Amino acid sequence: MLKLNLQFFKRLPAREKRITIPTLFTIARIILTPIIVGAMIMQQWGVAFVLFVIAALTDMIDGNLARYYGDHTFLGACLDPIADKFLLLSCFFTLAFVQSPLFTIPIWFVVLVLFKELLLIGSAVAFYLIKGHIEVKPRLLGKLTAVVQMGFIIWLFACYFFRWVPIRTYYFMLVVLVVMIFASLIQYLMIGWRWFCEDDNET
């Protein structure tokens, strides 16, 4: 859990801003994202599939390495969710507008994912401006939603590459993702409201 405030930023020690091995894996995920998007635009679905799997693995590796070695830094904690959102949103946007060989991601789904992220970021900023600090703690449902989204994209790339057309599975997975996104959003908003009320009662 990270408690952020202005004094925290001013007094942030150098060790919290250093680039560790887990952070390098996170940075690799950020670097891979535009390459994956380029492969998607060029219809190189096999390349996109392999690179996205590698990017998804870096998401597992950086967190596990940080926990195993106890090598947590503020820089890594900030970059990890940014890398995840950058990867997922970039791929979903591209899938919505690129001319895919089979089925495309509907624009309304991309808008939903973007709306969720913007609402969470906006709520966090508003909470910080009102209270002067914010507590950041990833939730299991939120992480699980991100994992399922990554799995969905990997599955789509495989479908494009092998020319599979499992349309029923596609719509089923889309519905599952929508439910998980809404559930994750509601959970985070409820947690934020509870923090707001508890902090307000303490003052």
Residue 95 has pLDDT above 80, yes or no: yes
Q: What is the dihedral of CA 54, 17, 63, 177, to 10 degrees?
A: -70
Task: Tokens for 53, please give them.
Answer: 């799997």
State the chain's mean pLDDT as an integer.
81
Distances (CA, A) of 87 to 56, 58, 182: 9, 12, 20
d(CA 97, CA 78): 29
Specify burial of residue 178 (Cβ count, 10 A radius: 0-12, 13-18, 19+). Answer: middle
Return the CATH number at 184. Answer: 1.20.120
Instruction: Give the pLDDT confidence of 137-196 residue by residue, as tens digits.
Output: 667 888 899 899 999 999 999 998 888 888 889 999 999 999 999 998 888 778 777 776
Residue 29 has pLDDT above 90, yes or no: yes
Residue 81 has pLDDT above 90, yes or no: no
Task: Tokens for 154, please give them.
Answer: 């990997």
Instruction: Give the pLDDT confidence of 61-78 residue by residue, as tens digits.
Output: 887 887 777 767 767 777
CB atoms within 10 A of CB 179: 11
Residue 44 has pLDDT above 50, yes or no: yes
Contact status, residue 154 vs residue 53, Cβ threshold 8 Å = yes
**Looking at the 3D structure of the chain, how many domains does it have?**
1
Mean pLDDT of 48-56: 95
Range of the domain at 116: 2-202
- The predicted structure's pLDDT at residue 67: 75
